[in-house]
Amino acid sequence: MISGVPAVLTPVRSPLRWLVAVAAGGAAAAHLPVIAPHLEEAPYMGLLFILLTIACTTLAVTAIAYDAPLVYLAAATICGVTIIGYAATRLVAFPMLADDVGNWLEPLGVVSIIAESIVVAGSITALRHWRSV
């Protein structure tokens, strides 16, 4: 703890914050074009894409401005759950999204999975570095 600030809120000053920020911004951008079609086809998924876009944008800005361990934990969790969600929609027919089953190489899906994987890897690496210091 530094001057009354809990350790999870103390900035890490990791150079990985830039990588995490750019990748989180990329994940947000990859979801923008699919929001409207999903709001029509499967409104619950469109709403989840809106929330994810807001979350990833917030994470990108926060990682740059204040790269605390809590930010990296949130980034790894949000993007990790998103990757699991993508896989789930490719393995199981979700309501109103049966056409996604088996569609592993949908271009924007691949872009988002790559970006989210970078966020997860960068965040975990930053957290490991923080814990070792």
pTM, entire model: 0.92
Over the stretch 31-71, which tens digit does the pLDDT of each residue have? 999 999 999 999 999 999 999 999 999 999 999 998 899 99
Q: Which of 5-14, 63-72, 79-88, 110-119 has the lowest mean pLDDT?
A: 5-14
Burial of 23 (0-12, 13-18, 19+ CB in 10 A): buried
The torsion angles phi and psi of 105, rounded to 5 degrees, stand at: -105, 25
pLDDT of residue 78: 98
pLDDT of residue 86: 98
> What amino acid is encoded at 94 in this protein?
F
Q: Are 106 and 97 in contact (CB under 8 A)?
A: no
